[in-house]
Amino acid sequence: MTEKSYRLGDIAKALGAELKGDPEVRITGLATLSAADPGQISFLANPAYGKYLADTRASAVILSPAAAQDAPTNLLLLDNPYLGYARLSHWFDPAPVPAPGVHASAVVESSARIADSASIGPNAVIEAEAEIGENVVIGAGSIIGARCRIGRDTVIRPRATLAHDVVVGQRCHILSGAVIGSDGFGFANEKGAWHRIAQLGSVVLGDDVEVGANTTIDRGALDNTVIGDGVKLDNLIQIAHNVHIGEHSAMAAMVGIAGSTRIGRHCVFGGASGVAGHLEIADQVHLTGMTLVTGHIREPGVYSSGTSADTNRQWRKNAVRFRQLDVLARRVKELEKKLEG
């Protein structure tokens, strides 16, 4: 692999950063403050890592103007250094760039429409009437169902599955093992026996959506499941049928959203949090890790549930008291009535 090398001045210009130092310094990679060697660039976004700044060997550091005092190296000043790092990370990404074209082992239906600039990997399957846009990458072994539409510059990693009629916007990133458009969990009960309901809707992903590895998004029962522009879903997330997720919301690993729930815009859900079905969650709601939501949330804010870990002995004592809360509440209410009397 050819080593990548860039002038520090060119990096500063591309990031819109103020440069304090030598613009001719060559940068060949990214590293943390404590691990960087000469020729590499680092960043300081979390004040907790400021203790490593004085001794860093990095040839340059991206940081905020407020953190720039006494730094021993070249500096790129940005109000949001973490965003600068995020943008610069793509300059040094070692992931191979697939060449345009359809691999000889891919199975492509004759009615599928594939842009000349798209790349279809080994053993991929493109079913009838699917539309693959400009610069799309379909990884090895992925399946694109009948009549799917995939917008330009989207990357689908190996072994992802899109069922029929799924719509994916532009610049999306779907990681390996993701399943989009599988049947929603819909059954009717008759005398204890379950009868499957055909899922007639689909899944629509907006632009700039990320779907993590082994995440599943179920198709709608009648209407579509909709994931808004800019939504970021981590690994191992379950999105049930007919869920709507608003623009630029983000969910960490193992979140579960039950059917027909509507999530607002700019929400952040911590890992393993869950939301029951048929609920409405307002914009800008933040759920901390392992929070369980069983009712509507109408106001923005931070919400939590459950208890943190404790010694087993103390937890068992608290669990007993928890079961007594209703009795205690009734006793307090009776005492209040007597006092008022």
Alpha-carbon distances, residue 327 vs 249, 261, 320, 332 (angstroms): 41, 34, 12, 9
What span, in angstroms and rounded, lies between the C-alpha atoms of 74 and 112? Answer: 52
What are the residues whose beta carbons fall under 8 Å from the beta carbon of 187, sequence distance 6 or more? 194, 195, 196, 197
Residue matched to tokens 């070692």: 94
Residue 288 φ/ψ, nearest 5 degrees: -75, 165
User: Looking up tokens 């798209």, which residue turns up?
Assistant: 118
Give the span between the Cα atoms of 122 and 338, in whole angstroms: 79
Classified as helix, coil or strand, 339 is helix
Instruction: State yes or no: is 164 an active-site residue.
Output: no
Give the three-state DSSP class for 66. helix
Strands lying side by side in the sheet with 29-30: 18-20, 74-77, 60-63, 40-43, 29-30
In 3-state terms, the chain is what percent helix, strand and coil (to 5)? 15, 30, 55
Whole-angstrom distance, CA of residue 93 vs CA of residue 164: 32
Half-sphere exposure of 300 (CA within 13 A, CB side): 7
Catalytic hit among 90, 173, 241, 278:
241
Active site residues: 241
